[in-house]
Chains A and B, each alone.
Chain A
Amino acid sequence: MTPEEALGADVLGSAARTIGEMPEEAVQSKFAQLQQMRGARTEREIIRQQAEADSLEGDEAAYQAGLMHEKSDLKKAARWYRAAAVNDFPGASLQLAKVLAMLAEEHYAKGETHAGEALIEEASDWCVKACAAGEFVEGEAEAFDLMEELNARLDPDFRRPGPGSRSPAAGQCTRGGLTKVIAMPNDAMEEHLKSCGSCKAEQADRAATGASASASR
């Protein structure tokens, strides 16, 4: 779809044709005003403004660093994504939410419930912010799943082991359980299975069920 088809040339055409038009007098007066302001700045103001302009490029660099670390070091990835997300860099808040949810899972797997809960809460906040900004473009369904899952995980009953649970970790999978995990790409699945106690328990359950079914045949 071309931009013209998407927006309709007629709808935005006249606005686009005239957006650069402004009475010369108004432009000249603003130019003179800004030139005057420029001359009146202190050394400190000049340095601050230059530093500001330089640091704007840092948001994109932070986002890229987050992407780079996502596969190898979740903590570093979260730190970089957070640096970009606090300045509302496109995509950073959603990526941060995902990384924080994965980090939380690592804490839960080690039995560090409080740390896990704190991370889930932060992930949920960033997810809401991403939603408000309209970030959900690529993998939209995945993002909404994530949000739903984070909300569910903030429910105090979520981590209470149910009757017949083989492990306290059962029911805690961030990806919605083994069935969904198996549908993921192989790399992602293997990575997830390394750290998810819930999936390991479910796998063991399935293996046990399969073994008893074979035995009964």
Chain B
Amino acid sequence: MAHRSKQDGDERGAQARLSMGSQEEFFTRYWPRLVRFLITQASNHSLAEEVAGDTFLKAWDRWDDLLTYERPDSWLFKVALRELRRQEAKARTRDSLAEDRTGNMADLQGTALTDDWVADNFALTAAIRTLPRRQAEVVACMLLGYSTRETAEILGVSEGTARSHLSRAAGKLRVLLTDAELPGVARKDPS
């Protein structure tokens, strides 16, 4: 998390382009990141995985274009997030404006049984899901190691807006992560 300079951004871009050596290599590097990024944003794990899968299919379909992109990783996260938000917007009705990501703790518990990263970071993932969408998006980008400039590019907002969302999210996260009422971590049975 200490890498935020422009140089580090360039390095992340170079790593992304290097991983474009083959579709499998790109997938191996970004599948875990993408699916977990979406888990922190989606109302349920299966939707997150479905959107992540669809996004890779789209990436492979335009592989030749992607090879020419400066930041193929940004494209991946941007497309996945837009698709997720579109699907959620369709599903949302006027009567259920409350963010449904917050309520679905059972889904997160279930996800933790199959994903060690979610189990290890359960309180954090749950806390991010309780944030308003725009704030949750910024925090998830930070989790991926992106700078505010890169985050703004992925989200399609100004850097100032990204910074403001981050600042508000940070205040809420500090409270949420020290709250004794946070749900416990569901551990995968080692047997």
Expressed in whole angstroms, the Cα–Cα distance for A61 and B53 within the complex equals 25
The one of B37, B61, B89 that contacts A88, using a Cβ cutoff of 8 Å? B89
Is A7 an interface residue when CB atoms closer than 8 A count as contact? yes
CB within 8 Å for A38 and B60 given contacts A90-B134, A133-B132: yes
Expressed in whole angstroms, the Cα–Cα distance for A59 and B27 within the complex equals 26
Tally of contacts, chain A with chain B, CB under 8 A: 164
Expressed in whole angstroms, the Cα–Cα distance for A28 and B156 within the complex equals 32
**Size bin of chain B's contact surface:** 35 or more
CB within 8 Å for A132 and B132 given contacts A8-B170, A20-B33, A138-B164: yes
Q: Which residues of B contact A38 (CB under 8 A)?
A: 57, 60
Main secondary structure of the interface of B (DSSP, over half): helix
Q: Which residues of A contact B58 (CB under 8 A)?
A: 49-50, 52-53
Q: Are A125 and B94 in contact (CB under 8 A)?
A: yes
The one of B117, B139, B170 that contacts A22, using a Cβ cutoff of 8 Å? B117
Q: Which residues of A contact B180 (CB under 8 A)?
A: none
Q: Which residues of B contact A37 (CB under 8 A)?
A: 53, 57
Q: Are B83 and A137 in contact (CB under 8 A)?
A: no
Is A18 an interface residue when CB atoms closer than 8 A count as contact? yes
Is A211 an interface residue when CB atoms closer than 8 A count as contact? no
Q: Are B117 and A21 in contact (CB under 8 A)?
A: yes
Q: Are B31 and A2 in contact (CB under 8 A)?
A: no
Expressed in whole angstroms, the Cα–Cα distance for A11 and B143 within the complex equals 10
Which partner residue on chain B sits nearest A7 by CB separation? B170
Chain A residues with a Cβ under 8 A of chain B:
1-4, 6-9, 11-22, 24, 27-28, 30-31, 34, 37-38, 41, 46, 49-50, 52-53, 56, 59-60, 63, 86-91, 125, 128-129, 132-135, 137-138
